[in-house]
Structure 1
Amino acid sequence: MRADRLVSLVLLLRQHGRLSATALARELEVSTRTVLRDIEALSAAGVPVYAERGRHGGFELLPGFRTELTGLNPDEALALLVAGSRRGAQAFGLGSALASAMLKVVDALPESYRDTAAGAAERLLIDPETDLLSRRLVDEEVPDAIAAEVLRAVFAGHKLRIHYAAVDQTPMWRTVDPIGLVTIRDRGYLLATKSGADRTYRLSRILAAKELPEPAQRPDRVDLDRAWQERSTRFRTGGDQVTVLVRVNPGRREDLLGTALAVRAEEPDADGWLRMEVSFQDSRHAKWALWQLSMDAEALAPQWLRDFLRNRATAIATRYGVSS
């Protein structure tokens, strides 16, 4: 850990020039005393860092102390910087590692490329935290300790014991054979097998994890993209899915498609609306999706869904019909 911190300290001085002990401590998330000890260690190792006293003083490297990475062209450097701006790494607990890696990449670029790549990257924003309606995109939190344990088991090919909280179930311990990790829309998933059967676990629902010394039962090579597609297909066609017949305003068709698993039939209705047969993950999913469409949709079947929507609407109308 200290070696990584010393490298980061040198890179910060290279890119920002003179920095005070307080500024370095803030960037490295350590105390100023730790920074001073690290500066002493660097000096003892021959790194040309010196202190400038006074109101605007701080620590600085001698000019010219850098290593250039000449194998990257401007477009390649820009691609790395753009990739580094994505939040997907957060899902695997690699956010800090990615930031550190980007710091090293930028520092190692030839000076003629560095300013061009960094300036171009400032013109591109990928996956901001809010959309145009100021709705904040909520990332799923995965504790670093859990993410690190899962990563170690995946990379080492060892069995993994997880305490997993499935939806509407009591958290349980289970031992799995990890295959790989997938992130989609900032959600991380562990692809694994349990007793030979395919399993998919959402990382944010893993409450604890422990890498085991036993080797995992898995193939030496895996096509994660294909594995994910196969599991997605099984998810859409199996389980407790429900099929709903619904009339929907054409202007809300895309909203319906954005929540449904699949569209089984679609035809125009007499009044210009669309009559569609769609499937949802389960009854709770169907209730939520149709309620979101409000007056722009009408569930025709099954009857339990119509009863639910009617009873809920009646309860809300009753509540707001009485003066508070």
Structure 2
Amino acid sequence: MRADRLVSLVLLLRQHGRLSAAALARELEVSTRTVLRDVEALSAAGVPVYAERGRHGGFELLPGFQTELTGLNHDEALALLVAGSRRGAQAFGLGSALASAMRKVVDALPESYRATAAGAAQRLLIDPENDLLARRLVAEEVPDNMVTAVRRAVFAGHKLRIHYAAVDQTPKWRTVDPIGLVTVRDQGYLLATRSGADRTYRLSRILAAEELAEPAQRPDRVDLDRAWQERSTQFRTGGDQVTVLVRVNAARREDLLRTALAIRAEEPPDADGWLRLEVIFSDPRHAEWALWQLATSAEALAPQWLRTALRSRAAAIATCYGMSS
């Protein structure tokens, strides 16, 4: 890992010119003390890196220095394959590998192309951390060591032992046969089988993972897109689904349908521009959450337990804000 970091340090100096120890530490995700030790190691190895003192000082390479240390390692090559989504790389624990790979790709470009590409890249922004309303779009936190173990088992075709925390359940250890990894809207999933039955595990709920030496019981080839569609269909049609009769403002119809699993029936708008729909949710908690998001733009007409749950939630909020601060 240190060798990869030393290569990245050289490439950063080649591409950006002079950089401070603090800037290098941020890029490499290490301490400034580690950067100073790495610079000493490079100098001892004959790499012409020197320090410039002063307020605008930093480290720099002698002009004209060339390096051939641009070969991609396995994780960097893999990161490039999923680089169509930067957040996808993050979800699979490949964020740092992607950054390192891209530095090598830029360094391998001819000098004339490098400047053009760098300028063009400054004109593109993909998946910023905030939307136009300044709402931070936070990806799920998945520990690198855990997802690395999962990734290794998927690629090697070995069984995987995971400590999994299912919703409203005590975490348990399970041994599964990994099929593949999927990322959807910043959320990563492991597709697997357990005792021959299809299972889907959310990566953020895997507390620990251990690759086993035993071969996984799985087909040699897989169509992940088809497998995901099948799992999605099973999810929508199984479980504790509930049907809800809803009265909703026509302007919020699409918001309601984006959260529901399906629509069973719909009546034309009434004189006030409100619709009546029968929609399906995956379970009671899903139904309560979805209707709460619409506030006074929707009313659950049935079942009664849902009306009671929403009324109790609203009463608790009213009580909270009715108190003196």
Query: Aligning the two structures, in what range does the TM-score lie when normalised by the shorter sequence?
Result: 0.7 to 0.9
Q: Which is worse superposed, 32-41 or 251-260?
A: 32-41
Q: Contact 2:83–2:98 at 8 Å: present in 1 too?
A: no
Identify if the C-alpha distance between structure 1 residues 230 and 41 changes in structure 2 by more than 3 Å, giving closer, same or farther: farther
Q: Contact 1:154–1:178 at 8 Å: present in 2 too?
A: yes
Q: Paired residue for 2:305? A: 304
Q: Paired residue for 1:313? A: 314
Q: Contact 2:7–2:69 at 8 Å: present in 1 too?
A: no
Between the aligned partners of 1:201 and 1:19, the Cα distance in structure 2 is 42
Q: Contact 1:66–1:108 at 8 Å: present in 2 too?
A: no
How many residue pairs match? The answer is 310
Q: Paired residue for 2:274? A: 273
Q: Which is worse superposed, 54-63 or 248-257?
A: 54-63
Q: Paired residue for 1:286? A: 287
Alignment-mate amino acid for residue 115 of structure 1: A
1:21-47 Cα distance to aligned partner (Å, 9 max, x none)? 56544543242442234213531xxx4
Q: TM-score, normalised by structure 1?
A: 0.87
Q: Paired residue for 2:114? A: 114
Q: Contact 1:84–1:102 at 8 Å: present in 2 too?
A: no
Identify if the C-alpha distance between structure 1 residues 217 and 296 changes in structure 2 by more than 3 Å, giving closer, same or farther: same
Q: Paired residue for 2:155? A: 155
Between the aligned partners of 2:160 and 2:150, the Cα distance in structure 1 is 7
Between the aligned partners of 1:39 and 1:116, the Cα distance in structure 2 is 29
Q: Paired residue for 1:42? A: 45
Between the aligned partners of 2:275 and 2:183, the Cα distance in structure 1 is 34
Work out whether 1:226 is the aligned partner of 2:226.
yes
Alignment-mate amino acid for residue 50 of structure 2: A
Between the aligned partners of 1:134 and 1:91, the Cα distance in structure 2 is 22
Identify if the C-alpha distance between structure 1 residues 124 and 18 changes in structure 2 by more than 3 Å, giving closer, same or farther: closer
Alpha-carbon deviation of 1:270?
2.9
Alignment-mate amino acid for residue 286 of structure 1: A
Identical pairs, percent: 76
Identify if the C-alpha distance between structure 1 residues 310 and 21 changes in structure 2 by more than 3 Å, giving closer, same or farther: closer
Between the aligned partners of 1:67 and 1:193, the Cα distance in structure 2 is 44
Alignment RMSD: 2.5
1:99-138 → structure 2 map (5 Å cutoff) = 99-138=99-138
Alpha-carbon deviation of 1:13?
2.1
Q: Contact 1:14–1:61 at 8 Å: present in 2 too?
A: no
Q: Paired residue for 1:75? A: none
Between the aligned partners of 1:89 and 1:57, the Cα distance in structure 2 is 31
Between the aligned partners of 2:251 and 2:12, the Cα distance in structure 1 is 52
Between the aligned partners of 2:220 and 2:21, the Cα distance in structure 1 is 48
Q: TM-score, normalised by structure 2?
A: 0.87
1:203-242 → structure 2 map (5 Å cutoff) = 203-242=203-242
Identify if the C-alpha distance between structure 1 residues 161 and 274 changes in structure 2 by more than 3 Å, giving closer, same or farther: same
Alpha-carbon deviation of 1:116?
2.0
Q: Which structure 1 residue ranges, 5 or more long, are not aligned?
A: 70-79
Q: Contact 1:19–1:60 at 8 Å: present in 2 too?
A: no
Query: Counterpart of 1:276 in 2: which secondary structure?
Result: strand
Alignment-mate amino acid for residue 309 of structure 2: F
Q: Paired residue for 1:264? A: 264
1:202-244 Cα distance to aligned partner (Å, 9 max, x none)? 0000001000011111111111111101101111111111111
Q: Paired residue for 2:93? A: 93
Q: Paired residue for 2:61? A: 60
Q: Contact 2:13–2:59 at 8 Å: present in 1 too?
A: no
Between the aligned partners of 1:27 and 1:11, the Cα distance in structure 2 is 11
Between the aligned partners of 1:314 and 1:54, the Cα distance in structure 2 is 64
Between the aligned partners of 2:226 and 2:100, the Cα distance in structure 1 is 31
Alignment-mate amino acid for residue 190 of structure 1: L
1:38-86 Cα distance to aligned partner (Å, 9 max, x none)? 213531xxx4x243565446341440515599xxxxxxxxxx7994772
1:94-131 Cα distance to aligned partner (Å, 9 max, x none)? 11011101111111111222222222222222221111
Alignment-mate amino acid for residue 193 of structure 1: T
Alignment-mate amino acid for residue 244 of structure 1: V
Between the aligned partners of 2:170 and 2:63, the Cα distance in structure 1 is 59
Q: Paired residue for 1:72? A: none
Identify if the C-alpha distance between structure 1 residues 85 and 226 changes in structure 2 by more than 3 Å, giving closer, same or farther: closer
Alignment-mate amino acid for residue 43 of structure 2: E
Between the aligned partners of 1:154 and 1:210, the Cα distance in structure 2 is 12
Q: Paired residue for 1:194? A: 194
Identify if the C-alpha distance between structure 1 residues 280 and 108 changes in structure 2 by more than 3 Å, giving closer, same or farther: same
